Amino acid sequence: MMTVDFVAFLKDHIDQSLAEVWQGSLVKHIEVNKSTSSWALHVAIPRPIPVRFMEQTTNDLRSCFSFLEQLLIVPDLLDWASGLKWILEHRRNELIDQVFSQEEMLRDLTWEADSERIDFLVENEAHFEYLIQGDICTNLSSWLLQEYGLRALVRALYTQPIPSASDCCSQETKNQELNLLNIAPPVTARKKGNSRKDEGLKLDGAEITALSELQEGQKNIVVVGEVWDKEIAVLRGGRLAIMYQLTDYRDSINVKCFVDNPEGDKLKIGSWYRIGGDIRYDDNSKEIALFMQGFKSYDKPARCDQAPEKRVELHAHTKMSAMDGLTEIKQLVKRAIEWRHPALAITDHGCTQAFPEAFKTAQDALAEAREQDEGYSFKLILGVEAYLVENDAHEKPYHIILLAKDRNGLKNMYDLVTMSYLDYFYKHPKITRANLMAKREGLIIGSACEAGELFKAILEGRSTDDIEAIASFYDYLEIQPLANNEYLIREGRLKSEEELQDINRSIVKLGKKLAKPVCATGDVHFLDPQHEVFRRIIQAGQGYEDAETQAPLYFKTTEEMLEECCYLGEEDARAVVIDNPQAVSLMIEDLRPVPTGFYPPAIDGAEEEIVALTWQRAYELYGDDMPLIVDERIKRELHSITTNGFSVLYLIAHKLVDKSNRDGYMVGSRGSVGSSLVAYLTGITEVNPLTPHYLCPDCHYSEFITDGSVACGADLTTKDCPRCGQVLNNMGFDIPFETFLGFKGDKTPDIDLNFSGDYQSKAHQYVEELFGSSNVIRAGTITTIADRTAFGFVKKYEEARQVNMRQAEIKRLAGAITGVRRSTGQHPGGLIVVPKDHDIREFTPLQHPANKQESGIITSHFDYHAVDEQLVKLDILGHDDPTVIRELEELTGIKVADIPLNEEKAMAIFSGLESLGVSEKDIGSSIGTYGIPEFGTRFVRQMLEATRPTSFSELVRISGLSHGTNVWLNNAQTLIEKGVANLNEVICTRDDIMTYLIYQGVEEQQSFDIMELVRKGKGNKLTPEHIAAMRDKGVPEWYVDSCLKIKYMFPKAHAVAYVMMAFRIAWFKVYYPREFYASFFSIRAEDFDPENILQGPDQVRERIREINRQGMQASQKDKKLLPILELALELYARGLVFYPVDLYRSDASKFLVEADGLLLPFSALPNLGSAAAQAIVDARDGSEYLSVEDFQQRSHANKTAMEVLRKHGCLEGLPESTQLSLFA
């Protein structure tokens, strides 16, 4: 807009005295946000305006423009130098009192200023030191912001020569110190006869201050710690504020610095440093931080195992030991390999869920170790610390260690774990001795810890015969470090450490007598000694009274364990620490927790049927004279599918979709299955992945666009067949097959399908009919402590002990306990199918989800991802959209397949409101996508407002952007806003990368490799060759940079499937509004708010405002209600109305279409419930109710239901009693 005199703009809105303050000010532009009903007035001011006047002006304007939710004045000082001079002249006394203190210094200062910074040019060395030491620059910056709302970086520039290279402190160190204080490095302004020498901050030899002893105001202190995390923020002007989280494992602190560019980010996560600086209060974190002045790498001696012969740990827990183990699986395995231990046993409490990740880590770490030590070998021992009972799950169990010796032993272990969860679960999964004996073959059994029956028998003073009989049951005996069992002394059950030693000595003696190897084990629960606090916190959170007294259950080196066992004498100590554990390890084979290979269920003739179905449909569509592009794609896909054994998976999906369609429910595809032409031709997906093309439904004429000029078939203009004159179909979404089965076509496919929520259980049942219920199980999941819960554990610990932790320490501790297993669950729609000639327990044990015996549901014990390369996993999910589509088809008689995907009015609601006949003022949005799946959320509506899409392909791109991570925010959004690229150019879906690079001329394999790295968030691992290949083919630099930022990308096929569903529903919204709203509200009837909505649009609008004002603090109930309110407001704006529940006409759960609106169902009444609603409808049976009494008797409505019905006027007009009505 043109600039406008601000005083003229303010005329009649504020008093004259206030208007004088703004003389000479100009309104540059007004930023209007219609969705939030807010204005931001950007005003150019000739002189600084005090904040109090701006606030007074803003308040006056808000009163005049009451229709606005928010109004802001954003000042822009035209001439900073003149403005600063004006402040120094007019506010001199206040500046002396509040900022500078010294009048002489203020008088002598000269400066330069612009819109981002104020530079004081200081010649006086004493003044320069005063500015630095007294935080004058920082204080002035704060004063300007507080008094005038002006944000500026204030710096002091010392105009003396830069020190020579011989100075004891380098200029780089001093510059770093000044930058961190928001003070510029000294500028070069040489003057004769002057030189300067800075002593600076000495890091070497300085006294180290513990992080726990840091206090505000400390200067030039030096600390030592490990950087374990960092946060980077971009400041005005492009500078970076870096916040490193530093810990010495007793405490943590934020370390803050400011740098000009990313190259200034010098500190690496996981490395130790000696850091110097000042301790100051940080306004952002609201606590003290170390403002770094210098740093130096610090060689922290790492724990290592220097013994010439290494021990083997046979008793180690990971985070899969529920609410007890704190050891990260990867860290534990990697540590054993770093120490060159020959083996390690994973023995979690009652479970084997760490096996898959531990095995994968061992493979990768061993391969890396062998690059340096070719002869090194490592064995991961698969074990479990089980709970042994004699006969009954309610007995108090003994702990026992089971190690799998061979493949048969592993299968027996999985059998035992399965029985423990399915048949003998009580507080813990129990194994009976009889079952153990029956499945003992291939297992090595250890006596475990002090909770084992051997240790307990000795502690209880049982007879020698009893003890020997107990020990004879085990293959090896365990002893553990004395400190592990020191609690027995604290509890008075033993008198001294000597008695603990005697117990271990007796076990060693017993082992010799019975020829049983005795092994010293650590009962590892955390990795390093300093990690004991993690277990302390998690046990305190569970109410353990002795949580503060933690046994040192860390992973010990050979030397540490030999020292622990020194009281046994050198020979026995070596035997229990090194020789015997190694001997046990040598008895055990290298085992995989899950077999290699793919094991699909058998369906006779599956391969032939898939091939036949594919070609049959291809010829139906494309004719006998098959286009070469179609023929080659089919042959390539069928080769991959048939040679890799994937035919059965395709056929299963085909049968499921076909049955659902025949039963009247369409199915939506998810994931990358739409990348497969065979999946399209066999009816598994509606997404045709071929390049955009025209196709004649009569004569099969086709025309393919292969140069990338058209993004998808739906964008093609309408065209008649040049052969027969029939209108051509527009088809093809240009999706490469490689994104589904990999570049070599051998990646196990993952076919995810969205069934109607009403039909999901029938689909599950059909899978069981196909393969037998004993061969189909639910896909299991593992629930762990989440970030927020972990934070709660730490805060509870902090409060209980009345200590104040810094945020950095809270974050560190919470991060350490995040991921500890709490329970298990099930995938909402995942089914695992096992071939009939295999037992599921060859691949995974079984259990009930969350150990709920009464559920009757059986899931995999492993997280389903552990077996998704070996077994067929079907994602048969329940979804609202297919249900809505079925409802719309029934209400309108229109088949969704007949809706064109380029229909103009339906397309228009994604960029405006014209098709709906409403205004932004009516509904509070400039986009018409309320109620449209995937496009109705505020986040996506904002994307639509920013991009205003006009084509189907652009909707697909927006779907990709909205589902990715770091794809829109801080990436594509910025590129579009700055005009660097448009919506059709930015990266939106994973397939975009491969197809774009191939069109640019990059080699196909390389294009695929780049796509795979970027989509997984590994853009930082793109090689110089990858980047050079892109640049050589003219790929713009912004595109390369965009690849580096992405963390996760959505598959294009998934986006297309979502948009097809959304577009069809949008079409109904435009042309069949009543039916659209009825289907939307019926799905969400129980969340409906009749009390507010039936009062009309004004009340609905007010309720929307109430929820929006709460922001993130809004309750979950209100968040679910918000889209319902938004769509109710839109319904009113389109001239429709809601009718309250009618006792005789309302349905139980569905909104019924009326001539000018919708009739509410009974289930829309709060607290009534679906069962009660259905009972009321069933009770009507065509006759009127005589009275309230008659109604209650016939419907069996309870007291709550009756109160709800009365409140909402449903019983008005009925007499209370039948007797009264008869004699009235």
Q: What DSSP element (H or E) covers 723?
A: none
Pairing of strands 313-316, 343-349: parallel
Structure tokens at 257: 């610095």
1121 phi, psi to nearest 5 deg: -75, -30
Residue 29 pairs with which residues in a beta bridge? 42
Is 272:297 a contact under the CB 8 Å cutoff? yes
- Kindly give, in sequence order, each residue whose CB lies less than 8 Å from that of residue 493, ignoring residues fewer than 6 positions away: 459
Q: Is the pLDDT of residue 133 over 80?
A: no
Closest CA to 170 of 195, 199, 191: 199
Distance CA 971, CA 988 (A): 10
Residue 788: CB atoms within 10 A of its CB come to: 9
Distance CA 20, CA 46 (A): 13
Distance CA 1141, CA 1166 (A): 12
Distance CA 986, CA 1042 (A): 8
Residue 554: CB atoms within 10 A of its CB come to: 21
Q: Is the pLDDT of residue 518 over 90?
A: yes
Distance CA 30, CA 42 (A): 6
Distance CA 737, CA 751 (A): 14
Distance CA 1082, CA 1080 (A): 6
Distance CA 126, CA 1070 (A): 75
Nearest 5 degrees, angle CA 750-CA 753-CA 758? 150
Is 1043:1022 a contact under the CB 8 Å cutoff? yes
- Kindly give, in sequence order, each residue whose CB lies less than 8 Å from that of residue 307, ignoring residues fewer than 6 positions away: 557, 558, 559, 562, 578
| 785-810: pLDDT as tens digits | 888 888 888 888 888 888 888 889 98
Higher pLDDT, 112 or 427: 427
- Listing DSSP states for 66-97 in one string gives TT-SEEEEEEEES-HHHHHHHHHHHSHHHHII
89 phi, psi to nearest 5 deg: -80, -40
Distance CA 1153, CA 1079 (A): 10
Distance CA 502, CA 510 (A): 12
Residue 316 pairs with which residues in a beta bridge? 346, 524
Higher pLDDT, 102 or 618: 618
| 291-327: pLDDT as tens digits | 988 888 888 878 999 999 999 999 999 999 988 899 9
Asked whether the CA dihedral 1023, 1028, 1033, 1038 is positive or negative, the reply is: positive
Domain 1091-1223 has CATH 3.90.1720.10: no
Rounded alpha-carbon distances, angstroms, from residue 972 to 137, 209, 934, 943, 1040: 37, 45, 19, 11, 12
Structure tokens at 1056: 């297309």
Q: Do the two domains 4-77 and 80-180 of this chain adopt the same fold?
A: yes
- Amino acid residing at 589: E
Give the mean pLDDT of the chain.
85
Distance CA 1014, CA 1006 (A): 12
User: How would residue 950 be classed by pLDDT, with cut points 50, 70 and 90?
Assistant: very high
Distance CA 108, CA 81 (A): 16
| 578-597: pLDDT as tens digits | 999 999 999 999 999 999 98
| 531-555: pLDDT as tens digits | 999 888 888 888 887 788 889 999 9
Mean pLDDT of 546-569: 92
Distance CA 581, CA 394 (A): 33
4-77 CATH pick, 3.80.10.10, 3.30.300.20, 2.60.40.10, 3.40.50.720 = 3.30.300.20
Is 344:312 a contact under the CB 8 Å cutoff? yes
Structure tokens at 1190: 């008659």
Pairing of strands 117-122, 110-113: antiparallel
Surface-to-core class of residue 939, CB atoms within 10 Å of its CB (0-12 exposed, 13-18 middle, 19+ buried):
exposed
Q: What is the pLDDT of residue 671?
A: 67
Is 877:754 a contact under the CB 8 Å cutoff? yes
Distance CA 792, CA 538 (A): 10
Distance CA 864, CA 592 (A): 16
Higher pLDDT, 1109 or 129: 1109
User: How would residue 725 be classed by pLDDT, with cut points 50, 70 and 90?
Assistant: very high
Mean pLDDT of 875-896: 87
User: How would residue 404 be classed by pLDDT, with cut points 50, 70 and 90?
Assistant: very high
Closest CA to 1066 of 906, 931, 941, 900: 906
Mean pLDDT of 130-139: 65
| Lowest-pLDDT range of 144-153, 378-387, 718-727 | 144-153
pTM: 0.74
Q: Is the pLDDT of residue 180 over 70?
A: no
| 181-240: pLDDT as tens digits | 333 333 333 233 332 223 346 777 788 889 888 888 888 889 999 998 888 776 655 667
Rounded alpha-carbon distances, angstroms, from residue 836 to 384, 525, 601: 28, 40, 7
| 46-80: pLDDT as tens digits | 888 887 788 788 877 777 776 777 788 877 777 76
What DSSP character marks residue 310? -
Q: Is the pLDDT of residue 390 over 60?
A: yes
Task: Report the half-sphere exposure of 145 (CA within 13 A, side-chain side).
Answer: 12
**Tokens 């520039």 sit at which residue?**
157
User: How would residue 779 be classed by pLDDT, with cut points 50, 70 and 90?
Assistant: confident
Residue 1120 pairs with which residues in a beta bridge? none
- Kindly give, in sequence order, each residue whose CB lies less than 8 Å from that of residue 235, ignoring residues fewer than 6 positions away: 241, 258
CATH class belonging to 313-586: alpha beta
Distance CA 404, CA 842 (A): 13
Q: Is the pLDDT of residue 744 over 90?
A: no
| 1072-1095: pLDDT as tens digits | 999 999 999 998 888 899 999 999
Q: Is the pLDDT of residue 163 over 50?
A: no
Mean pLDDT of 722-737: 92
Q: What is the pLDDT of residue 547?
A: 80
- Outline where DSSP puts E strands in 283-414: 287-297, 313-316, 343-349, 379-389, 398-404
Distance CA 1131, CA 918 (A): 10
Mean pLDDT of 495-506: 93
| 72-97: pLDDT as tens digits | 887 777 776 677 777 766 776 666 66
| Lowest-pLDDT range of 223-237, 510-524, 1052-1066 | 223-237
Q: Torsion over CA of 1168, 1171, 1175 and 1177, rounded to 10 degrees?
A: 70
Higher pLDDT, 571 or 545: 571
Q: What is the pLDDT of residue 115?
A: 58
What is the third-level CATH fold of 211-297?
OB fold (Dihydrolipoamide Acetyltransferase, E2P) (2.40.50)
Q: What is the pLDDT of residue 1093?
A: 94
Q: Is the pLDDT of residue 474 over 50?
A: yes
Q: What is the pLDDT of residue 319?
A: 93
Is 573:581 a contact under the CB 8 Å cutoff? no
Residue 1080: CB atoms within 10 A of its CB come to: 28
Burial 1017-1053 (b: 16+ CB within 10 A, else e): bebeebeeebbebbeeeebeebbbebbebbeebbbbb
Q: Is 1117 helix (H, G, I), strand (E, B) or coil?
A: helix
CATH class belonging to 80-180: alpha beta
899-1090 CATH pick, 1.10.1060.10, 3.40.50.720, 1.10.150.700, 1.20.1250.20 = 1.10.150.700
599 phi, psi to nearest 5 deg: -125, 75
Query: pLDDT above 90 covers what percent of the chain?
Result: 42
Closest CA to 1137 of 1073, 1072, 1209, 1065: 1073
Q: If you count them, how many residues does the chain have?
A: 1224
Closest CA to 157 of 110, 122, 193: 122
Distance CA 196, CA 162 (A): 7
- Kindly give, in sequence order, each residue whose CB lies less than 8 Å from that of residue 489, ignoring residues fewer than 6 positions away: 495, 496, 497, 499, 500
Q: What is the pLDDT of residue 825?
A: 84
Domain ranges of the chain: 4-77, 80-180, 211-297, 313-586, 606-635+670-747, 899-1090, 1091-1223
Asked whether the CA dihedral 1130, 1136, 1142, 1146 is positive or negative, the reply is: negative
Is 542:323 a contact under the CB 8 Å cutoff? yes
Q: What is the pLDDT of residue 198?
A: 31
Nearest 5 degrees, angle CA 14-CA 20-CA 21? 95
Q: What is the pLDDT of residue 261?
A: 72
Surface-to-core class of residue 115, CB atoms within 10 Å of its CB (0-12 exposed, 13-18 middle, 19+ buried):
middle
Q: What is the three-state SS of 888-911?
A: HHHHHCCCHHHCCCCCHHHHHCCC
Q: What is the pLDDT of residue 239?
A: 67
Please state the separation of Cα 245 from the chain's center in Å: 22
Q: What is the pLDDT of residue 160?
A: 44
Residue 1174: CB atoms within 10 A of its CB come to: 16
> How do the residues of the chain divide into helix, strand and coil, expressed in percent and rounded to 5?
45, 15, 40
